Structure 1
Amino acid sequence: MIKFNKTEINKQKIPFGKGIFTLSGADNILYINKTSSLDKSIRQLFKVAKDDRNIFQLVSQTVEIAFEEHTSLFAALVHQKKLESTSHPEFNSMIKPYEQYVYLGINFDEPPYIKIVEDTQENRFYIGSFKDRFFLFDLLDAMADLFYFPLCPDEKPYPCIRYKSDKCLGWCIKEKHETYTKAILPYIIPTKDLLSSKQKEYDKYFSNLQFEKAEKLKNKIQLVEKYFEYLRFINITKNLNLEFDENGRNFTIKDGRLNGIVENGKKGEFPLVTVEFRDNEVLAFNKDQLAERWIVYKYLINKNDKIILDRINEFYKKSQLKIRSYLI
């Protein structure tokens, strides 16, 4: 790893690529992290230190900074886990960049049916976590605009002004089963043809040279498609258990996370904290797991290995069966 004294940070050239970095005190590593941009992540810690007590303490105690570039975030994850297993950096448990992540919380029985929530402590059905709450705000707006799905205020009266202004079909006064199957279930198990009519509508706008309308509709369609892809990721990562070989090394993935590696005949284990999820959390996981789960998932998908992709499809089907058994 390339190392330099903290006092030299303004003069140091730090690459913008993927990699791992450490902040160390006089005798030990204080903090380790992986990143898609070494320069941005390292310098950002120093910029926000004045606004965060834990980061301020970290920066104050730091003597040396080190970094190493990697070809992928998965390689950086492997490196990070190896270092963490031997150094146990104290600030990794204190600095929580995921605290502002959120979930979709679904109520099957009464409004508000779909909410953006901070945790999974109530009796809703939960999906997530999500890194960007504003993505979810835009998603709920798009679903309401495209399909007249519910976008309920937090407080009564219901039906709300959206129904009175013809922006909602009045799901709160419809028969519960109809509301559930037509307006709530698509967030959990989307049908393949949900967007087909909107795609035809886009094609019509485009053919008639109504480019502004076509572009607005296209943006909403892409937003919903992005959510559906993320939903697929959640389905898979909660059931992802496999081993694969690469460059003479064997990797073990358990419950969507990196659990072990064998290289040069030596076995390294990365213990995972087992979390008991309730039935209504079948599509939810802890916020601090998101980064690792996403890195593992994208790496396996991008390998484009037929055997691995077939296994991933099996995990997706398994998840769908589990969800249907809960919902029925």
Structure 2
Amino acid sequence: MASEHIENKLALLPNEPGSYQMKDKNGKIIYVGKAKNLRNRVRSYFKLEHSGKTAELVKNIADFEFIVTNSDKEAFLLEITLIQKWQPYYNIRLKRGTGYPYIKISNERDPQLILVSEVKKDGAFYFGPYPNVYAAQETLHFLQKVYPLRRCNGFQGRPCLYYHMGQCLGACFREVPTSEYTVEIKKIKAFLNGNTSAVKKKLTAKMETAAENLAFEQAADIRDQIQFIDATVEKQKIISQDATPRDIFNYYVKDGWLSVQIFFIRQARLIKREKRIFAVVDDPAEEMVSFILQFYNRKNIKLPNEILVPSMLDREVLAQILQVNVKTPQRGTKKDLLDLAAKNAQIALDEKLRLMLLNDQKTTGAMQELATVLDIPVGHRIEAFDHSHTQGVDIVSAMVVFEDGMPAKKLYRKFKLKSIDHADEAAATREVIRRRYTRLLKEKAQLPDLILVDGGEIQLDAAKDVLENELDLAIPVAAMVKNDHHKTADLIKASGDEHLNLDPHSQAFMLIQRIQDEVHRFAITFHRQLHGKNTLASRLDEIQGVGPKTRQKLLSHFGSLKKINQASLEEIEALGINNKIANLIKVSIAATLRANELKK
């Protein structure tokens, strides 16, 4: 069953052609597909029964993205490009190369026309890829007949059969002048770049003549040839007509939000798309100029030869600062690509605004439900606490904050517990509650509307005691209870320690589940970081000659045994550590890591 997040996104899919990208829980693209109708195709993954690899794929989908194109064929070509770039795990059929052929003019003394599956850096000319493999094969045969290069294996002392048929320039028995090849290659390039009108006109005339002479099979063959040419060399908006590296920026504004789409065109193909959505606080055109300048003011960003932007932007300013040609196309393929970026920007923003509305409705409803079951006023802020330790060692606490049902990560806090040196849930809860709310009272900062503690009655009673008897605070508090499988099970109400028996399908329960999972994740992450540093510190303490100051230098600079082991002696000595101690550190750490590997 699809998650609520995916269900919401499925409802917003457009009835447009395009490419979709499936992502796993880590945000990694695991599958790229294409569709004539994105809404129907993507929904089919989650609404129909599947088996085998498709079922395995669906099980691992945590999210998806999509790019709208102008046609099904453009979607095909975009799919190829994205598969080449991201190498998704489940795209086995297209993982190596494209799965679709290119027509290649080889870079040789006696060049030839051949069909290949991938592009190499060999100085040859490549055209494609062509989704219709059979059409590409037939077009290649046509070109070999009309524009002869070399079709034989090279010099053999006598003319080959293809030479007698007029399909080879004669490299089999003579040294063909380079000028002859140049003439034919020029015609082939023009043909494959879309200049097919003259050839098609001749073929059409032949077809009509054959039909008039009742040679219907011949006429049908010529008709098919014309169709193959159309299928192979048809112009695509997704592919430009030249290989100039260019980036395309366009945007869409609605309800105070600015949606930006960036297309990266390399080797005449759309190889990448980025999107950004943020609140707009200034004139949208000025915001876009500022965004573009900041976009390129990053490390490892290589400027293209050309940037295309909509007419509203100040092209002169952009060109002067970036030292790149900045243009606004008025017609043709570039204009179509610019319009396509605007279309994708609008779809992306409309999707976000609808999801925001759904989330607002969902979180508002969850906060209302939670307030009702706890019999408290509807609140704005929830603060939740959890503890983590390893067999009573390295005890820490963590706090997460949810505002209007959404995590406010900038307000999260970590606590190293000072008053206890062994696992004591009640004592840990007392310390962290005391420290947190004593500080808020001193700073006269905003207090939460509800406090949640991860645990049961022990943690709940400890929190209540500190809040009511030490700090004289009347903040509602409740405990989040887990079942035997460590999953959210219920909520204990502070007054009378009453179990509320929340409906597991209710919005309130889902909100509690999100909060409990988040605070547990945050506490575990903090504990692992601290435990790792303490483990490193204890190992360094065992090395003779490493004192507190040296240990602190190593901890601050490297942070892990592995990084110290990978460091050179010069890097360790650069911290002010003499050569003898540096050598001893390297040997000791290497021995520790080897021992750890053997234990595994």
**SS of aligned partner of 1:126:** strand
CA drift at 1:150: 3.8
Asked whether the equivalents of residues 21 and 65 of structure 1 are also in contact (C-alpha less than 8 Å), the reply is no
Tell me what 1:113 maps to.
112
- TM-score, scaled to structure 1: 0.54
Number of aligned residue pairs: 249
**TM-score using structure 2 length:** 0.33
Q: Is the 8 A contact 1:116 1:133 kept in 2?
A: no
Q: Deviations over 1:109-129 (max 9, x none)?
A: 544511223331323233344
Greater relative contact order, per chain length (Cα 8 Å cut-off, separation 6+): 1
2:188 is aligned with 1:187: yes
| Cα distance, 1:177 vs structure 2 | 1.1
2:147·2:188 contact (CA, 8 Å) conserved in 1? no
Alignment of 1:123-138 (within 5 A): 123-131=123-131, 133-138=133-138
How far is the alpha carbon of 1:198 from its aligned partner?
Answer: 1.9
SS of the counterpart of 2:96?
A: coil
Correspondence for 1:204: 209
Q: Secondary structure at the match of 1:122?
A: coil
Correspondence for 1:258 among 273, 284, 288: 273
3-state DSSP of counterpart to 2:223: helix
Amino acid at match of 2:127: I
Q: Report if the CA contact (8 A) 1:31-1:92 is conserved.
A: yes
Is 1:309 the counterpart of 2:314? The answer is no
Which residue identity does 2:262 align to in structure 1? T
Contact 1:22 1:32 in 2 (8 A): yes
Structure 1 residues 179 and 38: alpha-carbon distance in aligned structure 2, compared to 1, 3 A threshold: same
Q: Percent identity?
A: 11
AA aligned to 1:103 is: Y
For 1:92, give the aligned amino acid: P
SS at match of 2:182: helix
Residue 92 (structure 1) aligned to one of 65, 88, 95:
88
C-alpha displacement of 1:143: 1.9
Q: 1: distance between equivalents of 2:185 and 2:87?
A: 41
Structure 1 counterpart of 2:162, one-letter code = R
Report the alpha carbon displacement of residue 163 of structure 1 after superposing the two structures with TM.
1.8
Post-superposition offset of 1:217: 0.6
Partners of 1:202 and 1:253 in 2: CA distance: 42
What's the offset of the Cα at 1:63? 4.0
Deviations 1:121-162 (A, max 9, x none): 3232333444555443222112234x1534624566474322
List runs of 5+ in structure 1 lacking aligned partners.
5-15, 50-54, 78-89, 277-305, 316-328
Partner residue, 2:179: 177
**If you compute each CA radius of gyration, which structure gives the higher value, 1 or 2?**
2
Closer/same/farther in 2, CA of residues 103 and 69 from structure 1, 3 Å limit = closer
The answer to whether the aligner puts 1:224 opposite 2:247 as a matched pair is no
Cα offsets for 1:212-249 (capped at 9, x unmatched): 21221121122223333258835257555433345744
Q: Give the deviation of 1:193 after TM superposition.
A: 2.3
Contact 2:107–2:123 under 8 Å retained in 1: no
3-state SS, counterpart of residue 195 of structure 1:
helix
Question: What's 2:122 paired with?
Answer: 122
In structure 2, C-alpha distance between the alignment counterparts of 1:153 and 1:121, rounded to whole Å: 24
* Aligned equivalents of 1:231, 1:155: Cα separation in 2: 36
Please give the alpha-carbon distance, in whole angstroms, between the structure 2 residues aligned to 1:91 and 1:155.
38
Partner of 1:12: none
Instruction: Please tell me whether the aligned partners of residues 250 and 261 of structure 1 are also in contact (alpha carbons under 8 angstroms).
Output: yes
CA distance in 2, matches of 1:254, 1:180: 32
Distance 1:94 1:156, change over 3 A: farther
1:243 to 246, 249, 255: 249
1:1-328 alignment runs, 5 A limit: 2-3=2-3, 20=20, 22=22, 24=24, 31-36=30-35, 37-38=41-42, 47=52, 49=53, 59=56, 63-65=59-61, 72=68, 92=88, 95=91, 97-101=94-98, 102-107=101-106, 109-117=108-116, 118-131=118-131, 133-145=133-145, 147=146, 149-150=148-149, 152-153=151-152, 157=156, 159-164=159-164, 166-170=165-169, 172=171, 173=174, 174-181=176-183, 183-190=184-191, 191=195, 192-230=197-235, 233=239, 235-236=241-242, 239=245, 241-246=247-252, 248=254, 249-255=259-265, 256=270, 257-262=272-277, 264-265=279-280, 307=330, 309=332, 311-312=334-335
- What is the RMSD of the two structures over their aligned residues, measured on CA atoms? 5.2
| Structure 2: tracts of 5 or more residues without a match | 5-14, 36-40, 75-85, 281-286, 304-328, 339-600
Distance across 1 between alignment mates of 2:222 and 2:129: 27
What CA deviation, in whole Å up to 9, does each residue of 1:36-84 have, x standing for no partner? 14478899x965x5xxxxx9xx939x7454677979458xx9xxxxxxx
Query: Which amino acid in the other structure matches residue 254 of structure 1?
Result: F
